[in-house]
A and B are shown apart, each in its own frame.
Chain A
């Protein structure tokens, strides 16, 4: 059984330094890996990223992260990525990370994701340049996610995003803002690649449990939803393979 801990939207800054650390010190008793589903900082500054690095480095399990919209606010996503990677955290944007867990393999593919909406209620790359840029950003990211997931040849595949791949896990948010919370293109990438679990954040008022149209479990791990330092999903590779 592979134990996957996950949390998103921790929004760390100097004023929240050290808050999560006590619950993280014994993480290996509960999980084999920790996934961070974006919005690690408040304003996307390097000072805040340093707090994130201090909070999540040196843990007894590997840590894999994607960035969120807050982590882009100060226009330094590359610098934040480097700072976190230098601290030993795997930051994914179209890349993968793989792990051996008791003889089975776990692969994580990660992207930030973006908005656009869900099937039948979504934007198109048409009209003003701003609208085309908005939708093309999502299309590019979804393509990168699909490529990364397809490249994994592991017993368990997990998709890690900040934005939501399905509307199920947004229940509780106003439906009018769903197009700013996720995109069906992410779900389509997940369904096309034999993925076992999709983890995202971003929707603080959403719902933890959902499923893609293709039957893949989706979990919204935004901290206001899970109301703990992290939550744990256990995946049994052989059982999942049968399903």
Chain B
């Protein structure tokens, strides 16, 4: 029976990002492919983006992190929606 270790590792990393006090990010996707891990989603500051990589590195230092996470934009909205 296959145990799909990549799936378990991705789940462990995702839980770590949610539960580690340095990150507490539930809105970051974690995808493991071989020796790469892809992070995607949005965080509120550049510091938090760096912490994501630090937490991943602590648990799986052998993985290369591909970081697609963005700092969420906080400008004025471009328009408005009229509900009719």
Contact = CB atoms under 8 A, between A and B. Distances in A.
B35 to A, nearest CB: 24
Contacts of B72: 223-224, 227
Nearest to B76: A23
Given A228-B73, A229-B75, A204 B42 contact: yes
Interface in B1-51: 21, 24, 26-27, 29, 41-45, 47-48
Contacts of A145: none
A11 B47 CA distance: 13
Contacts of A243: 84
Interface residues of B, number: 24
A157 interface: no
Interface string A1-26: 10100000111110110011001001
Contacts of B48: 15
Nearest to B29: A205
Given A231-B80, A232-B77, A236-B84, A15 B27 contact: no
Chain B facing A: main interface SS: loop
A3 B79 CA distance: 12
Given A30-B80, A204-B42, A229 B21 contact: no
Contacts, number: 86
A16 B76 CA distance: 17
A70 interface: yes
A228 B45 contact: no
Given A16-B45, A205-B41, A23 B81 contact: no
Given A15-B44, A15-B48, A228-B77, 14 more contacts: A9-B27, A15-B47, A19-B45, A23-B76, A30-B76, A43-B24, A197-B83, A204-B27, A223-B44, A228-B76, A229-B77, A231-B80, A234-B83, A243-B84
18 contacts: A3-B80, A10-B44, A11-B43, A13-B45, A15-B45, A16-B45, A20-B74, A23-B76, A43-B21, A205-B29, A223-B42, A227-B72, A228-B73, A228-B76, A230-B77, A231-B81, A233-B83, A243-B84
Ranked nearest first, the 6 interchain pairs of A and B with the lowest CB-CB distance are: A204-B27, A232-B80, A224-B42, A228-B77, A234-B82, A16-B44
